[in-house]
Amino acid sequence: MLRLYDTRRRAIHPVRAPGRAVTMYVCGVTPYDTTHLGHARTFLTFDLLARILEATGHPVRYVQNVTDIDESILQRAARDNVGWRELGKREERAYLADMKRLRWRRPDVICHATQELPAMFTLVRALERRGAAYTLPRGVYFPVAAQPRYGELSGLSAAAMKRILVGQDDAKLEDPGRRDPRDFALWRFVDDGPTWPSPWGRGRPGWHLECSSMIRHHLGDQIDIHGGGADLIYPHHENEIAQSETASRKRPFSRTWAHVGAMRLGGKKMSKSDGNMVFVRDALNVTDPRALRLYLLDRHYRKPFDHDEASLDRARLRAAALGDALGRGRSGAVGRAGPAREALSALEDDLNVVRALKIVEWAAPRAEAAERAELRTVARIVGVI
C-alpha cells in the first residue's frame, strides 16, 4: 500500500480507501502564461502517484481545476489587448498540450471556475447557515475565528499570520471592516471587468472558494489526497480547510495533504513574478519527454529542486540507456520478490523514485527476459521508457 507524507500530521501514513476509489484533488493552473518546469514537476508527481495506485490495484478518481477567472488573467489580457476568455482558453490549450507531451495521466475531471459558480454559492450558503460568513461593503468574508484549528496545516500562529499580513500589499485592498485581519473574501463585489450575479450581489469569487466548492461538487465532503505546490500551504490550503470543514462539519477535509517542493533556478523559486522560469516547451527542445520525466521525478518530490542543465542533459542518456536495456517488450506482473518488487516498494514508500530508478537501472542490463518484463512495468509507471 502506498504510504505518503501528510503535511498536516507531519508524518508518513498509509493511503487507505477500502472498497472504493482513492479520491485526489490537485490545485491546477491559472492559464495566462506558459507551463514551466515547476508546474510539470508538481503535476508529474501526482501523475506518478495515480499510476502507482492504479498499478497496484487501487482505482483513482483524480480531479484538477483550471482557474479561468482571476485578476492575473485580467491583467495579462489587458496588457496583451486580448479578451480574457480567449487568453485563458489559448493558454489552457497550450498547457494541456505540454502536459500531453509529457505523457501526463490526465485527471478524470478538469473543472473550471467559471463553470462552478452554483457550487460556490451552495458552499457560501452552507457557511452562512453555520454563521461563518458575513457581508461587508466590499465582499462576503469568512471569519477565521469560526475555525478553531485554523493554522493547523501551516503551523503558523495567529500572531505570525498577522505579522505577515501587515506587510502585504493586498491587505490594503481588503475590506477594513473585517473582524480579523486574517479573514478572507469568499465573494468580492467589483464593478470593473467580468462579473457574475450572486445572491449577495454582482462580483467575482474569492480564489480559495473555488477549490473547496469544486472538491465538494466532484468528490464530496472529504477526500483522500489533496495536492499542490508547497507554496499553496498558506494561505490557500489553510483557507480551504477552514471553509470545507466549517461547512461540512466533517474532518479531516483531506486525509492526506501532499505538497511538492519548489522548482528553483539560480537558487530562487521559479515564479511568474520573478520571471525566472524554464518552460516545458523549451526543455523539450533540448531533450525528449521521457528524459524530462526522469529528470523531474529523480529528486524526492518534497525537496526543493535546483534546475541544472547538465543534469537535464544527462537524463537523456539515462533514459536512452534504460530504453536500450529494457526494450519494447511486454510488461510483466511484478512478483513477490526481486528487483522489480523492490523498486515498486520504493515508489510506494512516499514516492522514492530515486531509489526505485537506481534499482531498475542496476538490474535492467543483468535481468533475464521474465525479470525484464517486470522491470518494464516499474519503468512504465515512472514513464521513463
Please identify which residue in 264, 290, 372, 376 interacts with RNA, judged by CB under 7 A.
264
Task: Determine if 89 is a binding residue for RNA (CB under 7 A).
Answer: no
* 212-251 binders of RNA (CB under 7 A): 228-236
User: Which three three-digit cell numbers place residue 326?
Assistant: 529494457
Q: Please, what is the minimum distance in Å from the beta carbon of residue 330 to RNA?
A: 28
Task: Determine if 207 is a binding residue for RNA (CB under 7 A).
Answer: yes
User: Which three three-digit cell numbers place residue 218?
Assistant: 466532484
Please identify which residue in 125, 149, 163, 330 interacts with RNA, judged by CB under 7 A.
163
Nearest to 200 by CA among 114, 85, 117: 117
Q: Closer CB to RNA, residue 56 or residue 72? A: 72
Residue type, 275: G
Q: Closer CB to RNA, residue 114 or residue 332? A: 114
User: Which three three-digit cell numbers place residue 39?
Assistant: 508546474
Distance between CA atoms of 207 and 329, rounded to whole angstroms?
47
> Binding residues for RNA, how many (CB under 7 A)?
60
- 270 neighbors 277 (Cβ within 8 angstroms): yes
Task: Determine if 344 is a binding residue for RNA (CB under 7 A).
Answer: no
Task: Determine if 324 is a binding residue for RNA (CB under 7 A).
Answer: no
Nearest to 26 by CA among 207, 224, 201: 224
Q: Closer CB to RNA, residue 192 or residue 249? A: 192
Q: How would you list the strands of the sheet with 134-136, edge to edge?
A: 134-136, 139-142, 184-188, 204-205
Q: Closer CB to RNA, residue 235 or residue 331? A: 235
Q: Identify which range of 48-56, 247-255, 267-275, 376-384 contacts RNA by CB under 7 A.
A: 267-275
Taking the CA atoms of residue 225, residue 274, residue 300 and residue 39 in that order, the dihedral angle to the nearest 10 degrees is: 50
User: Which three three-digit cell numbers place residue 30?
Assistant: 491559472
Distance between CA atoms of 1 and 329, rounded to whole angstroms?
27
Residues in the chain: 385
User: Which three three-digit cell numbers place residue 167?
Assistant: 506587510
Q: Identify which range of 189-197, 303-311, 323-331, 367-375 contacts RNA by CB under 7 A.
A: 303-311
Task: Determine if 366 is a binding residue for RNA (CB under 7 A).
Answer: no
Please identify which residue in 2, 4, 15, 28 interacts with RNA, judged by CB under 7 A.
28
Please identify which residue in 158, 165, 190, 284 interacts with RNA, judged by CB under 7 A.
165
User: Which three three-digit cell numbers place residue 272?
Assistant: 511568474
Task: Determine if 100 is a binding residue for RNA (CB under 7 A).
Answer: no
Q: Identify which range of 24-32, 117-125, 279-287, 363-371 contacts RNA by CB under 7 A.
A: 24-32
Distance between CA atoms of 275 and 312, rounded to whole angstroms?
20
Q: Closer CB to RNA, residue 61 or residue 182? A: 182
Q: Please, what is the minimum distance in Å from the beta carbon of residue 265 to RNA?
A: 9
Q: Identify which range of 79-87, 216-224, 256-264, 373-381 contacts RNA by CB under 7 A.
A: 256-264
Q: Please, what is the minimum distance in Å from the beta carbon of residue 246 to RNA?
A: 20
Q: Closer CB to RNA, residue 39 or residue 290? A: 39
Q: Closer CB to RNA, residue 312 or residue 340? A: 312
Phi, psi of 273 (to 5 degrees): -70, -35
Q: What secondary structure does DSSP assign to 75-140, as a single string?
A: HHHHHHTS-HHHHHHHHHHHHHHHHHHTT----SEEEEGGG-HHHHHHHHHHHHHTT--EEETTEE
In angstroms, what CA-CA distances link 316 with 109, 221, 232, 262, 367?
32, 43, 31, 23, 22
String marking each residue 109-138 x if it binds RNA according to CB under 7 A: ------------------------------
Residue type, 222: Q
Task: Determine if 254 is a binding residue for RNA (CB under 7 A).
Answer: no
- Return residues touching RNA (CB under 7 A): 10, 27-30, 36, 38-39, 41-42, 67, 70, 72, 154-157, 160, 163-165, 168-170, 207, 228-236, 260-264, 267-273, 299-300, 302-304, 306, 308, 310-311, 314, 352, 354-355, 358
